[in-house]
């Protein structure tokens, strides 16, 4: 019975949530440093981080190694954060996170229906 609740799909969805949450903090950090001279925006290598999170259940600080500095040219002060780009990425990441939460919720309801019907 426990395997119904801890299968590969659920583990993948939870790993994706962890990576999205990490990415969210990274984007917010970029926004917070938008006026810091010399700051280079940080970018998460999402697919690689997700693979690591799925395979090794990595999260938080363990995902730091998938963060790179964007070396694209920026303003005269050396900062390359664009509030518009970061805001769009934040919105996209939020939608991804919410979609995953919805999938987990629907999956939970589906399991409840299956278990409810199976017990009748």
Tens-digit pLDDT profile for residues 19-60: 999 999 999 999 999 999 999 999 999 989 888 888 877 767
Question: Does position 73 have pLDDT exceeding 90, yes or no?
Answer: yes
C-beta separation of 77 from 37 below 8 A: yes
C-beta separation of 27 from 90 below 8 A: yes
| Beta bridge pairs of residue 55 | none
* pLDDT band (50, 70, 90) for residue 93: very high
DSSP for residue 62: G
Q: In this predicted structure, what is the pLDDT of residue 16?
A: 92
Of the candidates 48, 53, 67, the residue with the CA atom closest to the CA atom of residue 15: 53
Structural tokens at position 5:
């609740």
The chain-wide mean pLDDT, for the chain, equals 87
Q: Which residues contact 104 (CB under 8 A, 6 or more apart)?
A: 10, 13, 14, 17
Q: In this predicted structure, what is the pLDDT of residue 39?
A: 98
């Amino acid at each position: 019975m426990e395997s119904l609740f801890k299968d590969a799909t659920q583990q993948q969805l939870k790993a994706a949530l962890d990576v999205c949450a990490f990415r969210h903090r990274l984007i917010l950090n970029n926004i917070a440093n938008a006026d810091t001279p010399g700051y280079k925006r940080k970018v998460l290598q999402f697919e690689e981080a997700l693979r690591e999170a799925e395979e090794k259940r990595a999260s938080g600080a363990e995902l730091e190694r998938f963060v790179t500095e964007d070396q694209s040219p920026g303003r005269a002060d050396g900062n390359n954060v664009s509030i518009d780009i970061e805001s769009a990425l934040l919105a996209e990441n939020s939608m991804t996170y919410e979609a995953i939460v919805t999938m987990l919720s629907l999956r939970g309801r589906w399991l409840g229906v299956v278990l409810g019907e199976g017990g009748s």
